[in-house]
Amino acid sequence: NSAVFDAKNLRVKLVLLGDSGVGKSCIVLRFVRGQFDPTSKVTVGASFLSQTIALQDSTTVKFEIWDTAGQERYAALAPLYYRGAAASVIVYDITSIESFHKAQYWVKELQKHGNPGIVMALVGNKADLQENRTVSAGDASEYADKNGMFFIETSAKTADNINQLFEASTLNGLTELL
Ligand code: GDP
Ligand code: MG
């Protein structure tokens, strides 16, 4: 008798939202290709990439990642990308308080118009720029808790916490959702 392994293969539509320049595209590039390109181009409209990870219990998770532009003039397009998304990663830059406020706008938008039960992660990127920090991890963490979000600080530049972001956002709720 051959053993039957009950491996699950999950597919997750994930959308990245946040102000232009906070590092969304760099986070995706780091996660998917393991690279950081300091001369990366501004995203026009949105771009799509996918990446599959294996969890400890042999479940695989294929992320279908929609990386949005973030500029005001594309804001009306955002629902096209977050509609039907099981997970969202809302990014701000720890050196920009404006970008943290913009992240809160996206949280409210998803609470109003996103998938009920959408998993939301709040991400403070550019954690390598500690000396220019204007958003405290404590404030962001408290805000995330209040809104039932997973919170993590990352650096696409140094790769710090990038894999953890995707793994943890999966484990924190997604597996139940699917
Ligand atoms: P997006 O508009 O949110 O997609 O932002 P990008 O990914 O295009 O990044 C905007 C700028 O921030 C680029 O100049 C990146 O090189 C820079 N950047 C992105 N992530 C990091 C990071 O973790 N640390 C630092 N120091 N710079 C970053
Ligand atoms: Mg971009």
Q: Calculate how far, in angstroms, residue 100's C-alpha sits from the geometric centre of ligand 2.
A: 17
Of 24, 174, 159, the residue nearest 93 (C-alpha): 24
Ligand nearest to the CA of 46: 2
Q: Calculate how far, in angstroms, residue 162's C-alpha sits from the geometric centre of ligand 1.
A: 13
Q: Which atom of ligand 1 is nearest to the CA of 67?
A: 4
Q: Which long-range contacts (CB under 8 A, 24 or more apart) does 110-115 make?
A: 110/17, 110/82, 111/147, 113/79, 113/82, 113/83, 114/82, 114/83, 114/85, 114/88, 115/82, 115/83, 115/84, 115/85, 115/86
DSSP secondary structure code for residue 22 in this structure = S
Amino acid identity of 51? Q
pLDDT at 4: 52
Q: Is 6 a residue whose pLDDT tops 60?
A: no
- Give the predicted TM-score (pTM) of the model: 0.92
Q: Calculate how far, in angstroms, residue 7's C-alpha sits from the geometric centre of ligand 2.
A: 34
Its ipTM equals 0.99
